[in-house]
Amino acid sequence: MKLNLIYEGKAKKLYTTEEEDMLIQEFKDDATAFNGLKKDKIAHKGELNNQISIAIFEHLKTKGIPTHFIKKISDNEMLVKKVSIFKIEVVCRNIAAGSLVKKFGFREGDKLASPLVEYYLKSDELGDPLFSEEHIFALKLADKHDLSVIKKMTLAVNTILIEFFGKRGIDLVDFKLEFGKTQFGNIILADEISPDTCRLWDSQSGKKLDKDRFRFDLGEVEEAYQEIKNRVV
């Protein structure tokens, strides 16, 4: 049962439960982009992202990736293990899109020779800047051992999800992960994996089935999220 709201973010709310080490993560319909400058609601997004994330976390578990997911509570809520979140957004890319095109001059759709892992400082005030391993160590956000675990897990998740989505007719272009540490010191995958945090393109048509439809007013946003849910759940 939900006790107290302890955090309300842009896309989710976190509640304490009777269990000290468990939280309820509730998914909202709110959508934001460009560091909060663009805001709206996407009908049913909360329940779609919750159920898509659950299907992905369950699949990752069968492949040996530890995640915070414990069980589904309702269509838009999941019970999770409470962790201390690393203030790092880990992005992994297979195909050039988004900031890789904007900042580095890649051409959208170019396949990368190997997966590219990037780190962004998780800070709305600072606009989530791209930073290096050296910055992470200097800021003491993770030590060398923890970051090497995080990087290995990210690449393992990438391999698993390329196949998972590939079988469902979807190209995994890029995605963002968040990791946390449990009270026992184990590093596990947290947050969500959904069309809000991944770029997903239909393998046949190339149609964008993710938050870029919202970011760039491409229309059929809810339909795209629903299409992903239909293919993964």
The residues of the shown chain that bind ligand UDP, judged by CB under 6 A, are: 89, 91, 98-99, 128, 174-176, 197-199, 211
| Cβ atoms of residues 74 and 57 within 8 Å | no
**What's the burial of 15, exposed, middle or buried (CB within 10 Å: 0-12/13-18/19+)?**
buried
14 binds ligand ADP (CB under 6 A): yes
Residue 198 contacts which entry, ligand ADP, ligand UDP, none (Cβ below 5-8 A, type-dependent):
ligand UDP
Is 27 within 8 Å of 49 (Cβ atoms)?
Answer: yes
CB 177, CB 92: distance < 8 Å = yes
Residue partners of 229: CB distance under 8 A and separation at least 6: 48, 51, 52
Binders in 87-116 for ligand ADP, by CB under 6 A: none
Q: Which is nearer to ligand ADP, 164 or 179 (CB)?
A: 179
Backbone φ/ψ region at 150: left (φ over 0), alpha (ψ -120 to 50), beta? alpha
Choose between 54 and 177: whose C-beta lies nearer to ligand UDP: 177
129 makes contact with ligand ADP (CB under 6 A): no
Instruction: Return the structure tokens found at 4.
Output: 């107290």
Contact predicate 208/221, CB 8 Å: no
Nearer to ligand UDP, 118 or 146 (CB): 118
199 binds, among ligand ADP, ligand UDP, none (CB under 5 to 8 A by kind): ligand UDP
Q: Which of 171, 174, 178, 227 binds ligand ADP (CB under 6 A)?
A: 178
Which residue of 60, 80, 136, 170 would you call a contact of ligand ADP, by CB under 6 A?
80
User: Among residues 15, 51, 165, 180, which is the contact residue for ligand ADP, using CB under 6 A?
Assistant: 180
Residue whose beta carbon is closest to ligand ADP: 9
Query: Which residue type occupies 35?
Result: N
In the block, tokens 């001059």 appear at 105
What are the residues binding ligand ADP (CB under 6 A)?
Answer: 7, 9-12, 14, 23, 25, 68, 80-83, 85, 178, 180, 190-191
